[in-house]
Amino acid sequence: MSNLETSTGKAIPVEQHEFGIFESVPMTHRTYSFWDMVATWIGANANTGSWFVGGVVAALGLGGALGVIFIANPIAYLIMAFIGYMGYKVGTTTMGLTRPSFGVRGSAFPSILNVTQFIGWSAVNTFIAAISMSFLFNQLWGWPAFGKPNSWWVLAIGVLINSLLQVLLTVAGGHKSIKQAERVAVVLLAILTVWETVAVLRTYPLSQIAAWRPPESMRLPFGAAMDAMAAFSLGWVPAIAEFTRYTRDKSSATIAPMIGANVALFWFAIVGTLGVITTTLASGKFDPNLSDPSSIAGSLGLGWVAFLVLILATVTTNVVNIYAAGMSLVNIGTKISPRTSLWFVGIASTVVSLVPILIGSFLGFFITFLDYVGFIFAPLFAIMLIDFYVFRRGDYDWSQANRVGGKFWYSGGINWYAILSWAIGAGMFLWLRSIPAVKATTGGIYLTLVFTAVVYYLLTQIAIARKHYLA
């Protein structure tokens, strides 16, 4: 592998260099193969959050949960593949790709929200890992585990330990260390998931699990479950180009992420659903607050090895979250180095990880966060896709990415038509999710995405007529 000449004149190995927003990654310096991308997205979705969201949709019963899992996720990852191709074609990050549609300065708006999103995901996963640590510490030293009185300080210790591990891994090696970590994690997580699947099915026959129904008062509407699952999967889309810009061919940027993400999400979410139903059958009480995999693993008697693997799963997931948030921060403050931004994001995510301890309800925090993801990113993706594939005909002139007065400058660096479309789409999502028929059937996220695409197309046609849009 050749070296890369930096701005200081010092040559460094290319895999140790983190390309910035304006450095379109040259094909000769792309290091991710097809199977590296499959492993990356298996590792990203083979995580405790996937188990948890599977446990949340268990409130539909097994049949309803499977319907949501097999409908919502392929749509989300098809969208991810389209944006993954954009990253491959242009050679920049996901938030970098918002510059042509939102403007050189306007791209800061989605970038700021994307930083908060990935800090939030990192916090969610870190807290779930802290739950695993609390069970591990309980077995080793008798400390109070999650759900027991006075367990807050044990959870805080778990948050700090996990945060330190994942920040050091991300900052020390960047995209290279992420690639290596995912290769190891995929194997261990697959073993653990087989182990838990066997344990669940040995506890109760599948026919009894399928026959279980949640209490009517706690049953989740199908559309609300669709929104929760779609928001969970769409939450990964803003990270896709961070990695597809390092891919060597189209299939690695599109097909490989879809394979990895879907396979892992299907498997882990289903195991999460089965685990919650099995635990409910054993205890006689359905409690969505105990949807986390550590509580399930503890109830199944899987032991301390399971908790260690769950902690590893969180670390390998959060390195992707922290990396994506760091690259989004670089798009906001273009003079910030990638490694400095990674440190900032890592520290911020540690602080946010402590919030569920303070508010006392992790499930409530999780659902609120998913609503935020759907509200922000469904309309954003619609705008990005229409702009690139319809108006730009599948190509961006990246020499214009930071040029004042260039194609992506619009009015003072902001494309107000995109901002308006985004705001209208966000408002549509809030309205749709309040309609009983939508809540009971399709959910609001994908309807919002289609609606926003139409709005942006029409408003951009107006902009073209007024010569406010430079094609």
HSE (side-chain half, CA atoms, 13 Å) at 199: 20
Asked if residue 222 belongs to a domain, the reply is yes
Query: Could you tell me the pLDDT band of residue 76, with boundaries at 50, 70 and 90?
Result: very high
Tell me the CA end-to-end span of the chain in Å, nearest whole number: 38
pLDDT at position 295: 65
Specify which of 149-153, 189-193, 248-252 reaches the highest per-range mean pLDDT: 248-252
Asked if residue 204 belongs to a domain, the reply is yes
Query: Could you tell me the pLDDT band of residue 17, with boundaries at 50, 70 and 90?
Result: low
Position 1 pLDDT exceeds 70: no
Report pTM: 0.84
Query: Could you tell me the pLDDT band of residue 5, with boundaries at 50, 70 and 90?
Result: very low
Asked if residue 121 belongs to a domain, the reply is yes
Asked if residue 404 belongs to a domain, the reply is no
Instruction: Report how far Cα 311 is from the mean position of its chain's Cα atoms.
Output: 18
Q: What percent of the chain has pLDDT over 90?
A: 42
Position 252 pLDDT exceeds 50: yes
What CATH number has the domain bearing residue 177? 1.10.4160.10
Position 165 pLDDT exceeds 60: yes
pLDDT at position 439: 94
More confident residue, 391 or 299: 391
Asked if residue 17 belongs to a domain, the reply is no
More confident residue, 447 or 279: 447
Position 106 pLDDT exceeds 90: yes
Q: How much is the average pLDDT of 376-382?
A: 94
CA 8, CA 317: separation in Å to the nearest integer? 33
Reference 65, options 204, 192, 228; nearest CA is 228
Domain count, the chain: 1
pLDDT at position 198: 79
CA 258, CA 264: separation in Å to the nearest integer? 10
CA 121, CA 232: separation in Å to the nearest integer? 9
Asked if residue 386 belongs to a domain, the reply is no
Which of 107-121, 233-247, 353-367 shows the lowest per-residue confidence on average (mean pLDDT)?
Answer: 353-367
Asked if residue 469 belongs to a domain, the reply is no
Mean pLDDT of all residues belonging to the chain: 84
Asked if residue 2 belongs to a domain, the reply is no
Q: Residue 274 in contact with residue 197, Cβ under 8 Å?
A: yes
Tokens of 65: 């949960």
More confident residue, 347 or 88: 88
**Residues of the chain by 3-state class (helix, strand, coil), percent to 5:** 75, 0, 25
CA 470, CA 464: separation in Å to the nearest integer? 7
For 419-445, write each residue's pLDDT tens digit.
Answer: 999 999 999 999 998 999 999 999 999
pLDDT at position 140: 81
pLDDT at position 470: 63
Domain that holds residue 350: 33-381
Reference 62, options 202, 205, 193, 233; nearest CA is 205
CA 382, CA 366: separation in Å to the nearest integer? 24
Query: Could you tell me the pLDDT band of residue 42, with boundaries at 50, 70 and 90?
Result: confident
pLDDT at position 329: 84
